[in-house]
């Protein structure tokens, strides 16, 4: 079946109305102080129902929803959410958070220094592995609880971790956005990475300075919500051997092993080490709660952390698939074809079209692949090099999905699966405190206005022909 064959009452506006309902509902919940991703379930469900009422061929619409939910990337994300939640629960239950707090105090780290250090650790992990979501799932449950117990403002600390995850996504040669932006423009990946340094490094330096200045102790107005109230009183080095677990996971990811494989080996290592060192008892891992006629334990609690974001991901990907199947991206690209002939106008058009597609698809790589051919032809007519076009695509794609409160990265960063806390954070607040993505917004705007980097040579420009 043609994926762009869906017809809605009201045309393209009818296709976009369900997504508008979804965005409005998520914004309302977030601003009302109900940021739990479970609260987004009914909003997304209502958006799907509205789409069903507006579409002309409900059978084809249903198939589009299922195709969106059944994408391999969706299965990967859901599996990762569940496994990471389990790994985080094991590490927290073993006392590793308290040991990190002990280590931070032994090193005399202030809360501001801790927030800045969390940003740098996330930068290093995301750059070495190329995965922003993997970085959130590994760094979040480890660094966030200890930092909050140290006095850091929860949303700011999570924003710093999200910023570090974004840094690697925008720069790492292993990142899917780096590869997609380079290949769609006919450029070599190493050359694109070198050309991108002039934007990414200043943005990272500005972000580090911001976190050092703003990462002081949380005030009463910041409403800190420590996930482990007794962490400060129980801080000890007893669980430091558990540091082997994140090192193992990071090492496997750096060797380009699969995310699921890396997380499963991490869970296995956490089980072995926690039992061997007496940090956990077998009964804590799994036991029968006779009073409630159910099984309980750290393993189940950890898996439950990933349920909220997993169900939300399924529903959102189904909704996004219906917008794509209505031909929104194809129509947008076709409508803007040939509108700009000069360099600055072409750059502004490429960034604007990609931003619109990112907002609707909520997925950076999908947006790059969809807009890539348009950016290539539009940019070539205006004399833009392959490196310049690839940089505009990648830098723009690493802003909005990491800032907007209805996109997967910000929803994940605010969820218990990443924070290691049963109390969720507001996705809007976490996104607003992602200093690196805001710095990229400024970098792209300045690059277009001033022409900075526009004449960068593309050594492998011949690949285009």
CA 356 – CA 454 distance, rounded (Å): 23
What is the DSSP secondary-structure string of 272-339? Answer: HHHHHTTSS-HHHHSEEETTTTEEESHHHHHHHHTHHHHHHHHHHHHHHHHHHHTTHHHHHHHHHTT-
In tens, the pLDDT along 410-441 reads 988 888 878 877 777 888 899 999 999 999 99
Residue with the larger pLDDT of the pair 464 and 330: 330
Give the mean pLDDT of 163-181.
87
Q: Which of 2-16, 59-73, 295-309, 384-398 has the lowest mean pLDDT?
A: 2-16
pLDDT band at 132 (very low <50, low <70, confident <90, very high): confident
Q: No. of H helices and E strands in the chain?
A: 23, 2
Q: Is 36's pLDDT higher than 80?
A: no
Phi, psi of 20 (to 5 degrees): -65, -40
Q: What is the model's pLDDT at position 33? A: 59
Distance set, CA 69 to CA 76, 103, 110, 369 (Å): 11, 42, 44, 19
Q: Is 222's pLDDT higher than 70?
A: no
Mean residue pLDDT across the chain: 83
Phi, psi of 232 (to 5 degrees): -65, -35
Placement of tokens 């334990």 in the chain = 297
Q: Which of 33-42, 68-77, 282-291 has the lowest mean pLDDT?
A: 33-42
% of the chain at pLDDT higher than 90:
27
Placement of tokens 């999200």 in the chain = 162
Residue 289: strand pairing partners: 294
Q: What is the model's pLDDT at position 224? A: 42
Residue with the larger pLDDT of the pair 342 and 291: 342
Give the mean pLDDT of 274-295.
86
pLDDT band at 212 (very low <50, low <70, confident <90, very high): very high
Q: What is the model's pLDDT at position 210? A: 95
Smallest CA-to-CA distance from 216 within 350, 113, 131, 316 is with: 113
Query: Using the 8-state DSSP alphabet, how is residue 9 labeled?
Result: T
Cβ 397 vs Cβ 368: under 8 Å: yes
- The angle formed by the CA atoms of residues 408, 413 and 414, to the nearest 5 degrees, is 100
Give the mean pLDDT of 284-304.
83
Q: Is 35's pLDDT higher than 70?
A: no
Paired tokens of 283: 């009964």
pLDDT band at 31 (very low <50, low <70, confident <90, very high): low
Residue with the larger pLDDT of the pair 78 and 235: 78
- CA torsion 138-142-144-150 (nearest 10°) is -160
Residue with the larger pLDDT of the pair 225 and 247: 247
Q: Is 28's pLDDT higher than 90?
A: no
pLDDT band at 330 (very low <50, low <70, confident <90, very high): confident
Paired tokens of 216: 């002081």
Q: What is the model's pLDDT at position 1? A: 40
Q: Is 382's pLDDT higher than 80?
A: yes
In tens, the pLDDT along 237-246 reads 888 898 888 8
Q: Is 86's pLDDT higher than 70?
A: yes
Q: Which of 139-143, 203-207, 317-321, 340-344 has the highest mean pLDDT?
A: 203-207
CA 102 – CA 93 distance, rounded (Å): 16
CA 162 – CA 419 distance, rounded (Å): 11
Residue with the larger pLDDT of the pair 349 and 232: 349
What is the DSSP secondary-structure string of 44-63? Answer: HHHHHHHHHHHBS-HHHHHH
CA 305 – CA 424 distance, rounded (Å): 10
Buried b (16+ CB within 10 A) or exposed e, 24-61: ebbeebbeeeebbbebbbebbeebbebbeebbeeeebb
pLDDT band at 462 (very low <50, low <70, confident <90, very high): very low
């Amino acid at each position: 079946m043609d994926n762009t064959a869906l017809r809605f009452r009201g045309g393209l506006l009818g296709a976009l109305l369900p997504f508008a309902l979804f965005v409005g509902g998520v914004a309302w919940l977030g601003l009302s102080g109900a940021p739990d991703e479970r609260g987004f379930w009914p909003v997304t469900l209502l958006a799907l129902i509205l789409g069903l009422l507006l579409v002309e061929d409900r059978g084809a619409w249903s198939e589009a929803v299922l195709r969106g939910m059944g994408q391999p990337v969706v299965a990967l994300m859901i599996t990762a959410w569940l496994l990471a939640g389990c790994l985080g629960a094991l590490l927290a239950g073993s006392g590793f958070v308290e040991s990190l707090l002990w280590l931070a105090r032994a090193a005399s780290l202030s809360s501001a220094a801790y927030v800045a250090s969390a940003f740098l650790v996330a930068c290093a992990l995301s750059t070495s592995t190329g995965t922003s979501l993997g970085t959130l799932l590994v760094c979040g449950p480890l660094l966030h609880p200890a930092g909050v117990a140290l006095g850091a403002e929860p949303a700011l600390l999570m924003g710093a971790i999200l910023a570090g995850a974004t840094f690697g996504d925008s720069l790492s040669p292993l990142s899917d956005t780096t590869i997609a932006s380079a290949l769609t423009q006919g450029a070599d990946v190493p050359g694109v990475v070198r050309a991108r340094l002039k934007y990414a490094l200043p943005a990272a330096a500005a972000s580090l300075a911001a976190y050092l200045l703003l990462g002081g102790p949380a005030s009463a107005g910041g409403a800190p919500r420590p996930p482990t109230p007794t962490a400060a009183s129980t801080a000890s080095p007893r669980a430091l051997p558990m540091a082997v677990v994140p090192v193992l996971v990071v090492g496997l990811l750096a060797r380009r092993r699969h995310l699921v494989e890396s997380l499963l080996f991490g869970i296995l290592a956490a089980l072995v080490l926690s039992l061997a060192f007496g940090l956990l008892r077998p009964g804590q891992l799994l036991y029968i709660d006779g009073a409630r006629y159910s099984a309980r334990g750290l393993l189940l609690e950890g898996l439950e952390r990933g349920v909220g974001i997993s169900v939300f991901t399924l529903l959102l990907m189904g909704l996004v698939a219906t917008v794509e199947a209505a031909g929104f991206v194809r129509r947008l690209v076709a409508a803007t074809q040939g509108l700009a002939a000069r360099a600055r106008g072409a750059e502004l058009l490429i960034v604007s079209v990609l931003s619109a597609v990112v907002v609707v698809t909520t997925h950076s790589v999908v947006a790059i692949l969809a807009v890539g051919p348009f950016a290539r032809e539009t940019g070539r007519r205006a004399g833009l090099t392959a490196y310049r076009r690839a940089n505009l695509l990648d830098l723009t794609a690493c802003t909005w999905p990491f800032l907007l409160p209805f996109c997967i990265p910000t929803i994940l960063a605010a969820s218990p699966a990443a924070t290691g806390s049963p109390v969720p954070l507001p996705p809007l607040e976490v996104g607003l405190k992602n200093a690196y993505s805001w710095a990229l917004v400024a970098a792209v705007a300045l690059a277009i206005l001033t022409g900075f980097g526009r004449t960068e040579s593309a050594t492998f420009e011949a690949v285009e022909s």
